[in-house]
Amino acid sequence: MSPVKAEDLVPFPVKEQFGGIDYCISSPPPWLTTVFVGFQHYLVMLGTTVLIATIVVPLMGGGHEEKAIVIQTILFLAGINTLLQVHFGTRLPAVMGGSYTYIYPAVAIILSPRYALFIDPLERFVYTMRSLQGALIIAGVFQAVIGFFGIWRVFIRFLTPLPAVPFVTLSGLGLFYFTFPGVAKCIEVGLPALVLLVLFAEYAAHFFVKGSFVFGRCAVLVTVVIVWIYAEILTATGAYNERGPITRFSCRTDRSGIIQGAPPVRFPYPFQ
For every residue of 91-120, DSSP letters joined together read --S------GGGHHHHHHHHT-GGGGG--S
Instruction: Give the confidence band of 217 by pLDDT, cuts at 50, 70, 90.
Output: confident
CA-based nearest residue to 123, from 186, 187, 180, 66: 66
Q: How far is CA 112 from the centre of its chain?
A: 26
Q: Which of 120, 73, 67 is nearest to 271 (CA)?
A: 73
Task: Give tens-digit pLDDT for 160-212.
Answer: 777 767 766 666 665 655 666 667 677 888 888 888 888 888 787 677 655 56
Q: 13-50: per-residue pLDDT in tens?
A: 555 556 666 776 667 778 888 888 888 888 888 878 88
What's the pTM value of the predicted model, to 2 decimals? Answer: 0.73
What stretches of the chain show up as alpha helix (H) in DSSP?
31-60, 64-88, 103-110, 121-148, 151-156, 161-174, 180-185, 187-198, 205-207, 219-236, 245-251, 258-261
> Burial level of 256, CB count in 10 A (0-12/13-18/19+)?
middle
Helix 219-236 to helix 187-198 angle (10° resolution) is 160
